[in-house]
Structure 1
């Protein structure tokens, strides 16, 4: 059985989140959380929280053993962009795109 957890509109771009996500794909949950704990990226903390949430969903809602869980799917999609403008020389403007992402984790036995 597969159990899912999603976090939406994180403050990190999908490219930065995918670096952490790719490292833990296919690993056991306990191993993935240990790996993320020692990463220097601030996105690792957010990914770790989503994995813990999926594990808690599996344990509380479906009475699955957390020690047996494995990350079957994990991915980061792009979310909405905040668009701001920065003034430039000669009356021009240049855009600032503040990107965010959605992170989805699916754990299974």
Structure 2
């Protein structure tokens, strides 16, 4: 499997797990708790495979940057949570940093 595709799957699993973490209500609800455990297992296994090809700093920058944006979107859709202008600007800066790292850094595995 392509490392970037595997990273996308790992990020998606992490977003699902984190979204279910809120629904688990402190691991007191069994089904959301099971989703958390399985999703995190998939996410970290996927990330471990990705790190065979993509440098850890690059992989983690993409993981965390996309994760922040996707978790914020999921929280808005699933839980009605809102973000203010400062939060949007901050997320924009994070995404810009990930783009700069991947497009212009020699550390990136292209």
Q: TM-score, normalised by structure 1?
A: 0.31
Q: TM-score, normalised by structure 2?
A: 0.31
Give the structure, 1 or 2, with the largest relative contact order (CA under 8 Å, sep 6 or more).
Answer: 1
Query: Which is higher, the Rg of structure 1 or of structure 2?
Result: 1
Q: Which has the higher helix share?
A: 2
